[in-house]
Amino acid sequence: MSYKAYVFDAYGTLFDVHSVMDAIQDHFPDKGPQISEQWRSSQVHYFMVRQLIDGYVSFDQVTRWALKDALVSSGAEADNETINHLMKQYEKLKPYDEVPFLKENHPEKELTIFSNGTKSMLEPLLDNNQLSESFLLLSADAPKVYKPHADAYHYAEDKLQASQDEILFFSSNPWDIAGASQYGFDTAWVNRNEQKWPELGIEPTHILHDLTDIPSKP
């Protein structure tokens, strides 16, 4: 049996979240790397906390809170206009080099993005990168539950109308791979930075350097 559906996380997997750095540098010279790293770290931390307290808010709100705190912690003062401008950069993130060719290389496969991001964030991102025709789009904003909660992956499985063993889920985020693996999906960890897999008691089905070579079902 081969995989019927390839399902991809968006942020950090298909799109480089740190491609916002140039825009940050334009406003805050020499603070781009610091703010970008803190922005992403706080973004993940905050939606995890909101999930744990059963207090769902949309990913764009979490992302704005994380940006504000990243600016404060970096000693950068920003008005609402600057914050709004930086938030718009999330609609212009750059895809990794091989991403624009995924559909061309796998025309027979159903390619789907399943992200914690809202459709209002993801649809412009795909449009701006001419990728709207390449991917179907699912958002955890629909069930109001973030990955890595099992209910999020159940929602994706239901929408894909495929069984668990027909789905291969890709992510660069270990917490996302752990959640999908625990739920029952085969998983592919996209380890672009050659990191060590964390000791979580869960292993990905596949480990990839990038998305150039997509694995077949073992």
Distance CA 127, CA 124 (A): 5
Q: Is the dihedral of CA 158, 163, 167, 173 positive or negative?
A: positive
Q: Could you tell me the end-to-end alpha-carbon distance of the chain, in angstroms, rounded to an integer?
A: 9
User: Which candidate in 9, 141, 176, 186 is catalytic?
Assistant: 9
The label of the residue with tokens 């789009």 reads 137
d(CA 1, CA 45): 38
Nearest Cα neighbor of 130 from 90, 76, 92, 184 is 92
Q: 9 an active-site residue? A: yes
Closest alpha carbon to 67 in 29, 26, 34? 34
Please give the helix or strand (H or E) that residue 187 lies within, else none.
Answer: strand 186-190
SS3 115: strand
Count of Cβ atoms closer than 10 Å to residue 144 Cβ: 12
Catalytic (active-site) positions:
9
